[in-house]
Structure 1
Amino acid sequence: MSLESFIEKQYKQKESLFWKLQVAGWLTFGATRALNSFALGDDINFQLIVAVSVVSGFLITILLRLVYRKLRSSNLPASTMVLSIISCIVVCAVILSAIDIWIVVQIYFIDLLVNDFAGRSLYNVFVLLIWTGAYFIINYHFLLLEEKEKTLQAVAQAHQSQLKMLRYQLNPHFLFNTLNAISTLVLTNQSKEANGMLTKLSAFLRFSLVNQPQQKITIEEEVYALWLYLDIEKVRFQERLKIDFNIADDAKQALIPSLLLQPLIENAIKYAIAPMEDGGTISLSVKRDRKILKILLCDTGPGLPSEEEMKKTRDDSSGVGLANTKTRLLELYPGNHNIAINNREEGGLQIFIALPFETAAEGKETNE
C-alpha cells in the first residue's frame, strides 16, 4: 500500500470514527442525565431540557472540531495552543450554559441566580474538557499511525535502493569484457558470432533490468539467465569453460531473488577459470529438502589456500559479487537463510546456500 492510499484510508477511518463516537458519546451523555433526572423524580419538562442540552452540545462540539483543526494546522507555539484550547472550552461552556438557563427560564418561568449559571458553566467546562481530551488523543493516535507508515515506507525505499545498488554493481567488468570480445570478433570478420553474442548480451541485459532486485523468480528462470550469461562467456573461454548443471525437477519452480547466482558464477569465472591455463568446470546443483531449497555451486579452481585468507576473503576480497550476495540474502531473508563458503577436498571452492522453499502458486511450503 502506498503512503497516499494509507493516509486516505486513515482519513476515512478517522472521519467515520469521529461521527460514530460523536453520536454515541452524546447519546450516552443524554441517556445518563435523563435516567438521573427520572430517578430524582423530575417532571417531563426536565427531559426536554436534557434533550436541548444534548443537541446543543452535539452542535457546539462540531464547531469546536473545526476550530481545533485550524489550530492544529496553524503551527502555533505549545503555550499559545493550550491557551487557545482553554479559551475555546470556556467560551463554548458559557454558550451551552446560556442555552440551558434560557430553556429553564422559558419552561419554568423562574429567575436563576448567578451561582446557578456559574455552576452550570463549570459542569459544561468539565464535559467539554473530556470531549477535547478524547478528540486530541484519537487524532494523536492516527498521527502516530501515519508517522509509523512514513517511517516504514522510508525504510522500505532505503532497502530497495540498497538492493538495486548491490545488483547494479555486478556487471561492469563482464560488460567491458563482452564488448571487447565482440569487437575482436568484428575485427576478425566473424560477424555471425559477433551478432549471436550481441543478441545474447541484449537478452541478458533485458532480463537483468526487467527483474528488480527485490523480485523473486523461479529457479528455471534463473537458470535461463545463467545460460545466457555463460553462453556469452563461452565465446571468450571456448573449451576452457565447462558447465555441469543438475537441477532437480521438484526445485525448478522454487522462488529465489532474481540473479542471485549470476554474480557467484561471475566470481568463479574470474578466480577459478580465467587464471587457469586449462580452464575448469563450474557445477551447479539445486534440490529441495522438504521446506528447504539447497543450492550448491562448485568450481575446480585454486580455492582458498588457507584459513587466514579464507577469513579475509569472506570479509574483503572475494569480489563485489560474493559480498553483495551475502548482503542481499541478509536483507531478504533475515535470520532465515544460510550461506557457507568452503574449499573442496578434491580442489576448488564450493558455496552452499539454503533458503526457505517457496513457490509462486503455493507460497511457503510446509513439511510433507
Structure 2
Amino acid sequence: MRSTPAAQQQTRTILIATAGVWLLAYAAMTLGWVSAAAPHFWDGAFRRAIICLVGAMMCLAMGPLLLRSTPWPFVRRLALAAGLSLVGSLIFGVLDYTVYVVILPRWPESTFWGVMLIARTVFWFFGAWAAIFMAVHADLAAREARFKLEAARVLATETQNRMLRYQISPHFLFNTLNALATLVMERQNDRAEQMILGLSGFLRRSLERDVREMVTLAEELDGERQYVAIEQIRFGERLSYVERIPAELADALAPNLILQPVIENAVKHGLSRTREPMTIEVVVAAQAGGMLSITVSDDGASGAGAPPGLGVGLENVRRRLETHYGERATLTCGVREPRGFQVRLDLPLERA
C-alpha cells in the first residue's frame, strides 16, 4: 500500500468526503421528520444514524472496486459507479426497512415499498460519493505523473551535467601528462615534482565535489589558480594570471569548475600560436537586475583566425549554464582589440 504524502492526503480527503456526504444524507432524511412532527423522533434519529454509518462503510467498501477500474475507459467506469450506487442504495433500503419495520416496529403504517422509496434518494448520495472518490484519485494520479515527469527531467539534467563535467578531465590530463613526460625526459625534476603536486591537488578538489554542487566564486577561483599554476610550470613566465573580484562578491555562487574550460581554452589557443607572453584576466562584476558577470579575457593569439561559433570547451560551458539556469544565463565571446579573445558569462546573482 502506498504511504506517500500525496496518498495519505488522498486518504484523508476521502474520509472527510465520506463523513460529509453521509452527514448531509442523515440531515436530509432526519430533519424531514421534524417538519412532519413524526412520533418517536429520537428513536428514529438514532436508528437513522446507525443506518447512515453502515452506508458510509458501504461507500468505503466500493473504493477498491473503483480503483481496479482505473485503466478502464471512462464510460465503463461511469457505468460501474452507477451500478455500485444502485446496489448500495437497494441494500440501504432493505436495511432501512429491517431496522424500522422488522426490528421493534414503532411505525405500523410503514410498508416495504414505502420505506424502499428512500433508496431513490440515497442513490444520489452514493453517486456523489463515487464521483468525489474518482475525482480525488484522478487528482492523485495526475500529481504522481507530474512528480515522475519532474523526477525524470531532473535525472536527465543531472546526467547531462555529469557528462559535460566529465568531458573536462581528458583534455586537461592529456596536455598535463604530455608536459610532465617532457619535463621528466629533460630531467627537470623540480618542475616535474611541482606539476605532480599541483595536478594531485587539482584532481582531488575536482573529484571531492559533486557534479551538481554550486560553489562560491572564492572557491571556484581558488581551483582555477591551482589549474593556472600547473600551466605556468609548463609555460613559465610566458603565462600571467590576474583576478579582479570585489570582496562583496566572493560569496556569489557559480557551478563548480565552470571557468576551467574557459581558462583552458585561453591557454590552449592563446599560447599555441605565438612565443610571446600572454596574460589571462578574470573580472567579476555585479550587474543590474540581480545578474552577475564573469569575464575571462586574454591578450594572446587566440583571437587571430578564430573560427565562428563555439569550440568544444566553450560549448560545454554554454550547455552547463543552460541545464542549470535555463534562459536566465548566457555565454558570449569574441575577439578583443587589438588582440586576444574574451568570454563573458552572465548568470543570476545567488549567494551562499
TM-score by length of 1: 0.84
Structure-1 separation of matches of 2:322 and 2:38: 72
Which residue pairs with 1:352 in the alignment?
344
- For 2:157, which of 156, 159, 169 is the aligned residue? 159
Q: What SS does the aligned partner of 1:52 have? A: helix
**1:197-230: CA deviation from partner (whole Å, max 9, x where unpaired):** 2222122122223333432111111111101111
* 1:301 is the counterpart of 2:300: yes
Please, which moves more after superposition, 325-334 or 102-111? Answer: 102-111
Q: Deviations over 1:267-322 (max 9, x none)?
A: 1111111221224221111133463322221111235457xx6xx632xxx42111
SS in 2 for 1:42: coil
For structure 1, which segment, 20-29 or 55-64, has the greater mean C-alpha deviation from structure 2 after superposition? 20-29
What amino acid is the match of 2:37?
A: G
- The answer as to whether partners of 1:272 and 1:280 remain within 8 angstroms in 2 is yes
Q: In 1, Cα distance between the equivalents of 2:316 and 2:350?
A: 22
Q: Deviations over 1:78-114 (max 9, x none)?
A: 6765555444333322211110111221333547556
Q: Show the counterpart of 1:56.
A: 54
Matching residue's letter, 1:274: S
1:172 CA drift (Å): 1.2
**Equivalent residue, structure 1, for 2:237:** 239
Q: Alignment partner of 2:328: what SS? A: coil
Partner of 1:323: 315
Report the secondary structure of 2:345's partner residue. strand
CA separation in 2, counterparts of 1:180 and 1:268? 18
Q: Distance in 2 between matches of 1:220 and 1:205?
A: 18
Alignment of 1:61-100 (within 5 A): 61-69=59-67, 71-72=68-69, 84-100=80-96
Superposition RMSD in Å: 2.6
Q: Name the structure 2 match of 1:249.
A: 247
Quote the offset at 1:255 in angstroms: 0.8
The aligned counterpart of 2:16 is 20
Any unmatched runs of 5+ in structure 1?
361-368
* Other structure's SS at 1:339 match: strand
Residue type at the aligned position of 1:11: A
Letter of the 2:318 partner, please give it. Answer: K
Residues 60 and 92 in structure 1, CA contact (< 8 A), matched pair in contact too: yes
What amino acid maps onto 1:252 in structure 2? A
Match of 1:261 in 2: 259
Corresponding residue for residue 285 of structure 1: 283
Residue 257 of structure 2 aligns to a residue whose secondary structure is: coil
Residue 313 of structure 1 aligns to which amino acid in structure 2? P
**Aligned-pair CA distance for 1:13:** 1.4
Which amino acid counterpart does residue 323 of structure 2 have in structure 1? E
SS in structure 2 of the partner of residue 334 of structure 1? helix
Question: What is the distance in 1 between the residues matched to 2:335 and 2:301?
Answer: 9
Q: What are the residue-to-residue correspondences of 1:189-228 with 2, within 5 Å?
A: 189-228=187-226
Which SS does the other structure have where 1:345 is aligned? coil
Aligned pairs (5 A) from 1:101-112: 101-105=97-101, 106=103, 107-108=105-106, 110=108
From 6, 29, 37, give the equivalent of 1:10.
Answer: 6
- 2:37 matched residue in structure 1: 41
Q: Say whether the 8 Å CA contact 1:250–1:288 is kept in structure 2.
A: no
Contact 2:25 2:122 in 1 (8 A): no
| 1:186 equivalent in structure 2 | 184
Match of 1:340 among 324, 328, 332: 332
1:363 match = none
In 2, are the aligned partners of 1:170 and 1:263 still within 8 Å (CA)?
yes
Secondary structure of 1:181 counterpart: helix
Please list every run of 5 or more consecutive structure 2 residues that lacks an aligned counterpart in the other structure: none
* Contact persistence 1:216–1:255 (CA under 8 A): yes
What is the TM-score of this pair, normalised by structure 2?
Answer: 0.88
When structure 1 is superposed on structure 2, of 162-171 and 216-225 the one drifting more is: 162-171
Shift of the 10–108 alpha-carbon distance from structure 1 to 2, 3 Å rule, reads: same
Q: Is the 8 A contact 2:291 2:349 kept in 1?
A: yes
